[in-house]
Structure 1
Amino acid sequence: MSKQLPVVVHVESIGEVLFRSDQRCKRLSIRLKPLEGVQVLFPPGYSIQSAIEFVHQKKEWVIQTRRKMEERESGFTIFDEHTPFRSRSFCLKIEKSERSDVRLFLYNGVLKVLYPAHLPVTNGPIQEAIRYGIEEALRREAKRFLPFRLQVLARQFQFCYRAVFIKNLKSRWGSCSNVNNINLNLHLMRLPDHLIDYVLIHELCHTIEKNHGAAFWKLVDRCTSGKARELDGEMKQYRTRIY
């Protein structure tokens, strides 16, 4: 049996849809991912015409789901050669290259991304590779810096905690468990130093005060020279995810 090549078909009210066979597929499925559009996957040997009819049957669902996806896409940063990005220890540099894949290098304070010259940098998989590279570089940086800085602040303000974990948290900069394990978001490395310290102090205060009551904010105020609310307001300028 000859291999089925991907086919792009214009579907009314939806636009271009990519149809492709995948040996891992057990059944027909529709996939929508940010920056990649609408794709239909089906087992080898499946009729493309039947796949197109399936999309027509699911048209309303596709339109609604794509609308939600487009709302997410509107908040995405599209990284290119001119996008400024810097953490505490590295900056981002994106370059075209005569190659067939995306390569990432982190050396001497630069995260270099080389992508195929025959593809636009806005290509979905290229953007995903850039984000992956940034997050892995941030993870390394966070593991080197955050546990040590947390220890310094804990000693300075006389807090005790059990363990610290670096994670890629979706909606929080940090958290403190009931047994005083502290989780810190690797994206903290994108913040100014004084805000990194604020988040660490915030979580250290939770080792004593488990909620956000008056006693908690009084404690945070004592550790931040009365700037707790000011720093908390400043944090709202930043997001926990790279979009």
Structure 2
Amino acid sequence: MAESKLITSQLTALPGYKVRESLKAKHVSLRMTVQDGLEVIVPKGFDQSRIPEILHTKQSWIAKTIGRLEEQRQQLSLEASHELPDQLQLRAIDQCWKVEYQPTHSQRVTLTEKDKSRLILRGCTQNEDACKSLLQQWLSHKAYQRLVPWLWSVSQELNLPFNKASVRGQKTLWASCSQQKNISLNYKLLFLPTHLVRYVLIHELCHTTHLNHSAQFWGLVFEKESDYKALDRELRKSSHYVPGWLEPSILGKTEDQF
């Protein structure tokens, strides 16, 4: 009876969570983000009455993750309060663009490139939302120019073909691969160091063969990148690379699969 009371007390202290059934899931996994909290992902038809017991066994991971995400949340809150950026440090392609703002009486905002190292935003630059939107569009275009050809190159190098590629601004993913072998890259990858971006590309290309995170998938990742475990750990802690003005919820994502 005493043991039962202890478990009940511990479970009461757990954070709130939401449950999501996934047709792709083979096992139960936990995902936690700064914005959305704890999510339990279960296979279709899973007995959800087992979830409290599972959360009890993962309390150590949950507690550590909450602490780490709280640090990230505080960092993001501080960064998000900053004004519009004065430079864009695109580590993935070894470029640094200075951003200049030229206010005028126009109600519109325009963006132009100068000298292959400067971005000029001109017009109603006090409209921060408009400026952010233009910068995000520019980043998306730059990512399509540079990351998609890079993906094709790695695909040929590793003999892992895919169908087509696109660039988006996903909130919780660095990239994704569909059943049709279409790969979508997040333009925020531009802010990551080269070695981490290459790992993301390899990871997604391996999903063209195994659309899951099974042992077979990780075996293929190891075959293509033997140091994948260290790279994966580094990627999970890469939040500081992406500037706060982009409000990157992806930064607070951490996951545990079992």
- One fold, TM greater than 0.5? yes
Structure 1 runs (4+) greater than 3 angstroms displaced: 72-75, 95-103
CA contact (8 A) 1:169 1:240 kept: no
Q: CA RMSD in A?
A: 2.8
Alignment of 1:83-162 (within 5 A): 83-87=86-90, 88=93, 89-101=95-107, 102-107=109-114, 108-114=116-122, 125=127, 127-162=128-163
1:76 to 65, 76, 80: 80
Corresponding residue SS for 1:129: helix
Alignment of 1:1-243 (within 5 A): 76-80=80-84, 83-87=86-90, 88=93, 89-101=95-107, 102-107=109-114, 108-114=116-122, 125=127, 127-224=128-225, 226-236=226-236, 237-238=238-239, 242-243=246-247
Q: Percent identity?
A: 26
Could you tell me which runs of 5 or more consecutive residues in structure 1 were left unpaired when the two chains were aligned: 1-71
CA contact (8 A) 1:90 1:111 kept: no
CA distance change for structure 1 residues 216 and 106 in 2, over 3 Å: closer, same or farther?
same
Q: CA deviation at 1:210?
A: 1.4
AA of the residue aligned to 1:76: A
Q: Indicate the structure with greater helix content.
A: 2
In structure 2, C-alpha distance between the alignment counterparts of 1:114 and 1:159, rounded to whole Å: 44
CA contact (8 A) 2:100 2:118 kept: no
CA distance change for structure 1 residues 240 and 164 in 2, over 3 Å: closer, same or farther?
farther
Size of the aligned set, in residue pairs, is 164
TM-score by length of 1: 0.58
CA distance change for structure 1 residues 77 and 229 in 2, over 3 Å: closer, same or farther?
farther
In structure 2, C-alpha distance between the alignment counterparts of 1:136 and 1:181, rounded to whole Å: 21
**CA offset digits 1:84-140 (Å, max 9, x no partner):** 422234513233534444442223232222466xxxx7x5x3x22232122111111
TM-score by length of 2: 0.55
AA of the residue aligned to 1:178: Q
**CA offset digits 1:40-67 (Å, max 9, x no partner):** xxxxxxxxxxxxxxxxxxxxxxxxxxxx
Could you tell me which runs of 5 or more consecutive residues in structure 2 were left unpaired when the two chains were aligned: 1-75, 248-258
CA distance change for structure 1 residues 240 and 156 in 2, over 3 Å: closer, same or farther?
farther
